Structure 1
């Protein structure tokens, strides 16, 4: 009897149950604060899926996922800010006037169009990942060197946004005065509508990522994670596969950044903070980086614990989280999802008939003859 954990039908059933539960949340509670909080967890879930796709399935340890997340968030923040500006009588955001700018910078002009602003919020981070990833992977950068390079690029971008205060408002960030306007209606960040938008994005991202991992592209990607040289000798362009999976993870993170700004109406360099990007890796590591839904549940568990236990334990919470992560890495290298895999494997072994593993005499003889 095979391990039920690896059964594709069973996996899809678990995904269906998970999203059915998430869909029932607005039916269970109408508390606007809780809905906003659960929607924020959905954003974290998207980030965890993006890390699982790049690190768990592609073998690319990206410690700079905040690059795509931050760029997407700033793109959405700029779009929402320009929705509140009158293009004729008041085209310049107040913080630019405070920084002695007397005209709208060309960088901001495309975001006057809402649709174009959405497209740029997703396209710019993705194109950046394609360019930066192509440079890394064509040079055959791998392992910890990828982590170092992505971390260095994240730090550089963080510093750049801080220094460009007249255009980004520096450490103060951008706080659009009004909610997002979509299709002629305002999306209240504490409404059921905002929850459904994030839920739909999370559902699409997770299902699409799952289908990708089960496709031929996904199988090749998982193979190069284990042995890229062997995959290269088989005739596959390893750099192209790595670049694509890296860019897809960036696209997901950029979408998460857009959703977060819609929920909080604020974006700042904190979205590009190194600790936050490393936290994403911790979510996936604890939940199980080889499992999309495991990584997602890891994000829910860690961020939920921080919300409800962080205030109680204060700085001690970080020590608890660090200790928990060390224990998981040491004893559960596949995370909590690996514990489920091990448990289901043991159950399957106990349910297997005792003589099922014994070959019949005829088969045994045939096997010996073939040998």
Structure 2
């Protein structure tokens, strides 16, 4: 009997149970503030999922995932901001405060909700495709690619921070009204907002899981283990790396859109290096080689920070850092490796029938001796 951890049917059953439990939350939580907070954990879960897909299965350590998340968040915030503007007053207040007398050209498409949401997802995804193509075709990989993503993240952070007249600068963007779709206003503290995040998380997880189990996923994991050997077999390593990196960015951009829908705010802090590093920590602690493990890691870490961070204040960072060091030192594959080890012990335990069979074989061998 093999380890259930590696059984595809058992994995899908675990996913079904996990999402059934997550989906049932609004049925038991009546506090709108808690429901909104749990929905934000779903956003963090999407980010951890995207890191797991890119790093755990693709072998691409991306410390700049905040680019896709931040651009998606700003795109959604711009859309929600323009929903509150009128034909007689088309310019957001912060632009007027910065002496702008006309709406910038790149803000104009966000006057349409459909176009705005599309651009909020498409622009960061296109950037990931372009950046990935340039880097991977030049065979920039490993720590060098990681450094490039970190440098690019810092560049975007500086641009958005400095261009206050167009981005709100350090104050960020605070749309005064919730997102409106088809004349319906989505209250960020309502079960509807939670369900939108839930569907997004569930859809992203299912697509990512199917991708990792496909022939494309097998080649991607082979590239992670030995890129040169896969290249010698005739596969386009750069093409596979670009696709997995782009899909990871797509998931992060959707997470950014959901984030702004829930909190009605975005600032350069969403492109801060520390936030992108947090995504990697979530995936590493939960298990970068396990999509569901990475999501649970994000839930556990952010949940602990929400309820212990206020009590421990800055000490919380020391606790988190120490926990991260312990996990990396003794559990390289994260907390998911504990589940794998536990299921391995259960599967290796002999059953009564197997014991009887063994005794019978021993008797038979003894008779022939």
Which bin holds the TM-score, normalised by the shorter protein?
over 0.9
Confirm or deny that 1:350 pairs with 2:317.
Answer: no
Aligned twin of 1:227: 226
How far the C-alpha of 1:343 sits from its partner, in A, is 1.4
Aligned twin of 2:139: 140
Question: After superposition, what is the alpha-carbon deviation per residue over 1:125-158, rounded to whole angstroms, capped at 9, x for unaligned?
Answer: 0110011111111111111111111000000000
Q: State the secondary structure of the residue aligned to 2:185.
A: strand
Q: State the secondary structure of the residue aligned to 1:175.
A: coil
Aligned twin of 1:11: 11
Q: State the secondary structure of the residue aligned to 1:282.
A: helix
Stretch deviating more after TM superposition (111-120 or 141-150): 141-150
CA distance in 2, matches of 1:153, 1:174: 22
How far the C-alpha of 1:62 sits from its partner, in A, is 0.2
Matched ranges for 1:55-204 at <5 A: 55-86=55-86, 88-204=87-203
Q: State the secondary structure of the residue aligned to 1:43.
A: helix
CA distance in 1, matches of 2:270, 2:173: 12
Matched ranges for 1:196-345 at <5 A: 196-345=195-344
Report the CA distance shift for 1:11/1:132 in structure 2 as closer, same or farther (over 3 A).
same
How far the C-alpha of 1:351 sits from its partner, in A, is 2.9
CA distance in 2, matches of 1:93, 1:124: 22
Question: After superposition, what is the alpha-carbon deviation per residue over 1:103-133, rounded to whole angstroms, capped at 9, x for unaligned?
Answer: 0000100000110001100100011001111
How far the C-alpha of 1:346 sits from its partner, in A, is 1.7
Question: After superposition, what is the alpha-carbon deviation per residue over 1:54-76, rounded to whole angstroms, capped at 9, x for unaligned?
Answer: 00000000000000000000000
How far the C-alpha of 1:312 sits from its partner, in A, is 0.8
Report the CA distance shift for 1:96/1:356 in structure 2 as closer, same or farther (over 3 A).
farther
Aligned twin of 1:29: 29
CA distance in 1, matches of 2:125, 2:350: 47
How far the C-alpha of 1:356 sits from its partner, in A, is 8.6
How far the C-alpha of 1:222 sits from its partner, in A, is 0.6
How far the C-alpha of 1:175 sits from its partner, in A, is 0.3
Report the CA distance shift for 1:255/1:356 in structure 2 as closer, same or farther (over 3 A).
farther
Aligned twin of 2:364: none
Aligned twin of 1:367: none
CA distance in 1, matches of 2:274, 2:357: 51
Q: State the secondary structure of the residue aligned to 1:351.
A: coil
User: How high is the TM-score relative to the length of structure 2?
Assistant: 0.95
Q: CA RMSD in A?
A: 1.5
- Segments of 5+ residues of structure 1 without an aligned counterpart are 361-371
Q: State the secondary structure of the residue aligned to 2:320.
A: helix
CA distance in 1, matches of 2:208, 2:266: 27
Question: After superposition, what is the alpha-carbon deviation per residue over 1:280-335, rounded to whole angstroms, capped at 9, x for unaligned?
Answer: 00000000000000000000000000000001111111011111111111111110
CA distance in 1, matches of 2:109, 2:154: 26
How far the C-alpha of 1:221 sits from its partner, in A, is 0.4
Report the CA distance shift for 1:100/1:16 in structure 2 as closer, same or farther (over 3 A).
same
- Segments of 5+ residues of structure 2 without an aligned counterpart are 362-369
How far the C-alpha of 1:29 sits from its partner, in A, is 1.5
Name the count of aligned residue pairs: 359
Aligned twin of 2:38: 38
CA distance in 1, matches of 2:282, 2:150: 17
CA distance in 2, matches of 1:198, 1:229: 39
Q: State the secondary structure of the residue aligned to 1:212.
A: helix
